[in-house]
Structure 1
């Protein structure tokens, strides 16, 4: 399980580092997750040398370690002469020729989970403005980690129960509320790539609680039809669903009608029941 999580973290950091070089004005980007009190750099982009590839930053040490300790971004306009940080990692950072360095911690629920760095070979005037997109990238990584943690927590709880009937009613309802909330969050994310990854995460919850899928049911609901039905499953009115999903009430009615038709259900309650038996909803 730990190996799988580590592989996922590595992929997540690699995508984030790629985003940094694309969305900021800094030519060099690197980053890693926090493990055993240190940030282990696992992805580097745009570097001229290999000095950064083996970098391990202890909490509180260097610019990144300071960012971890304070859980806020740190900027060194002239890294070589910066007096507010330790210089434990000069051999790697200066070996790459970096003059300006920006470190952004990845923080989930107040806890640092990793660090993303942006660097340039010359001093960069206006670096704070230029580095603002890096904060957005770090926030996106934190959001994905937070949602992934919640999904894994719910799945772990579901796996402990031998069947849906054995799952306490409260836990089952919490599972359904989490599923609906994750769908709402995914619908609000603008980045298509992140939205797709979040969709894959919350889809893991759909088959987590049903005991028996209905044989022969092959309904295929659209993402929005599923979003609306997931909210309806919690007892929300059309108006409440519209507010939650940012839709007009008439649009909600249209999605519900379409979902009911596909599921061959005469009421929303019947549609929800059939969707659960089909493994579309938890």
Structure 2
């Protein structure tokens, strides 16, 4: 058990205190969650707080990155939902004994809680009935996660600002110089600055910089992890046609012809 005054202890305590609120605002019969803890093999979520469960089989369960639904949220940093936990192919089934056989859950949502730039906690909501968690409830769960992030940020001391390496400083300075080249009113000055940027190895400031919508980035992030369109749709609670539409839009913005090239282009541009 983490010291209550440690950052992990504070995060875990707030999660436990707010689960009743999550249950009340969403109407979900089952809610649970906990804080993540650093391990040598990567951060792990430990589920320490339960409401509406049939037993204690989930208590103190540790969830690794990419394992089960919570592990997907921990890995991607995005809200993940499945309509039928037992049959979905979008997640691993390490915890079926606890989730399906012991607790008889069907539709489940996992919400990552960002703390200091990383996933510091995950909260879940679930039903046992043969119907999916709808979009209205999903929006409320996401709003709860955002409110939780703000509350935790107010309780924790601000993180120490890391010292930037000389390489990072050089990239930042080059990006600022490229911005100056784009915004310079004098054509001659703009041309000279653009030439300097190019000679220093920067991208052409005159080249358009594609901007992707948040959902397009979420879809590409899951594709980058090797997920199929069906798995992305399942994880994000979308239809496959909607996922394809987001991919087509992202490919058009990035000027590429397939999903693999879109991931590569987004990484090159620092979007992923």
TM-score, length-scaled by structure 1: 0.51
Q: Does 1:14 align with 2:16?
A: yes
Report what 1:42 is aligned to: 48
1:79-228 correspondence to structure 2 within 5 Å: 79-94=85-100, 95-125=102-132, 127-150=134-157
Misfit runs of 4+, over 4 Å: 151-154
Identify the structure with the greater helix proportion: 1
1:50-69 correspondence to structure 2 within 5 Å: 50-69=56-75
Counterpart pick for 1:76 among 82, 94, 114: 82
CA distance in 2, matches of 1:86, 1:45: 24
- Give 1 or 2 for the bigger CA radius of gyration: 1
Relative to 1, partners in 2 of residues 1:128 and 1:60: Cα closer, same or farther, differing over 3 Å? same
CA distance in 2, matches of 1:26, 1:7: 26
Deviations 1:79-121 (A, max 9, x none): 0001010001111111111011000000135411110000011
Farther-moved stretch of structure 1 (79-88 vs 124-133): 124-133
Contact 2:116 2:159 in 1 (8 A): no
Cα deviation, residue 132, structure 1:
1.8
| Count of matched residue pairs | 154
Report what 1:27 is aligned to: 29
Contact 2:108 2:133 in 1 (8 A): no
Question: Is there any run of 5+ residues in structure 1 with no aligned partner, and where?
Answer: 155-282
Cα deviation, residue 54, structure 1:
2.8
Contact 1:103 1:117 in 2 (8 A): yes
TM-score, length-scaled by structure 2: 0.52
CA distance in 1, matches of 2:10, 2:60: 19
Question: Is there any run of 5+ residues in structure 2 with no aligned partner, and where?
Answer: 162-272
Contact 1:105 1:113 in 2 (8 A): yes
Contact 1:75 1:128 in 2 (8 A): no
Q: SS of the residue aligned with 1:88?
A: coil
